[in-house]
Amino acid sequence: MTRFGLFLITLAVATAALGQRQPESAADSRRIDGLLKRDFHERGQAKMDRVQTDELQRACNRYADNPPAALAKRLEAAQLKAIPFPSGSLLGSWQAGEKIAQSGRGMTWNDKPGDAGGSCYNCHEISPKEEAHGTIGPSLARFGTLRGNSAEIQRYVYGKIYNSKASNACSQMPRFGHSGTLTEQQIKDLTALLLDPASPVNQ
Amino acid sequence: MGLALGASGLLAQKSPYADYQRMTAENAPVELYEIQGEEAWKKRAGPKNVSLEQCDLGQGPGVLKGAYAGLPRYFADADRVMDLEARLLHCMTTLQGRSREEATKRVFGNADLASEMEVLSAYIARQSNGMPLKPGTSHPKEKAAYALGQKLFYHRAGPWDFSCTSCHGEEGKRIRMSELPPLAKPEYARPVMATWPAYRVSTSSFVTLQWRMNDCYRQMRMPEPNFGSEVPAALLTFLTVNAAGETYRGPAIKR
What tens digit of pLDDT does each residue of B38-55 get? Answer: 999 999 999 999 999 999
pLDDT at position B23 over 60: no
Q: Give strand pairing partners of B207.
A: B198
pLDDT at position A101 over 60: yes
CA angle B152, B157, B163 (to 5 degrees): 50
pLDDT at position A55 over 80: yes
Q: In the structure, what pLDDT confidence band is assigned to residue B93 with cuts at 50, 70 and 90?
A: very high
Q: Average of pLDDT values for A100-123?
A: 97
pTM: 0.90
Distance CA(B197)–CA(A76), nearest Å, equals 43
Average pLDDT, chain B: 92
Mutation target among A18, A24, A75, A133 for the B interface, most CBs of B within 10 A: A18
Distance CA(B251)–CA(B241), nearest Å, equals 18
Distance CA(B56)–CA(B53), nearest Å, equals 9
**Selected residue with higher pLDDT from A23 and B158:** B158
Per-residue b/e over B208-224, b at no fewer than 16 CB within 10 Å? Answer: bbbbbbbbbbbbbbbbb
Q: Can you give the pLDDT at residue A203?
A: 92
Q: Can you give the pLDDT at residue A19?
A: 73
B55: annotated active-site residue: no
pLDDT at position B14 over 60: no
Domain ranges in chain A are 3-70, 94-202
Q: Can you give the pLDDT at residue B21?
A: 59
Distance CA(B110)–CA(B206), nearest Å, equals 8
Q: Can you give the pLDDT at residue B19?
A: 58
Domain ranges in chain B are 18-254
CB distance from B141 to chain A under 8 Å?
yes
Q: Is there a contact between A133 and B176 if contact means CB atoms under 8 Å apart? A: yes
CATH architecture of A94-202: Orthogonal Bundle (1.10)
Q: Average of pLDDT values for A106-112?
A: 97
Report DSSP letters for A9-56, one per residue: HHHHHHHSPTT------HHHHHHHHHHHHHHEE-BTTB-GGGGS--HH
CB distance from A77 to chain B under 8 Å?
no
Count the neighbouring beta carbons within 10 Å of the beta carbon of residue A95: 14
Q: Average of pLDDT values for B218-245?
A: 98
CB distance from A162 to chain B under 8 Å?
no
CATH superfamily of B18-254: Cytochrome c-like domain (1.10.760.10)
Per residue in B194-209, pLDDT (tens digit) is: 999 999 999 999 999 9
Q: Is there a contact between B185 and A19 if contact means CB atoms under 8 Å apart? A: yes
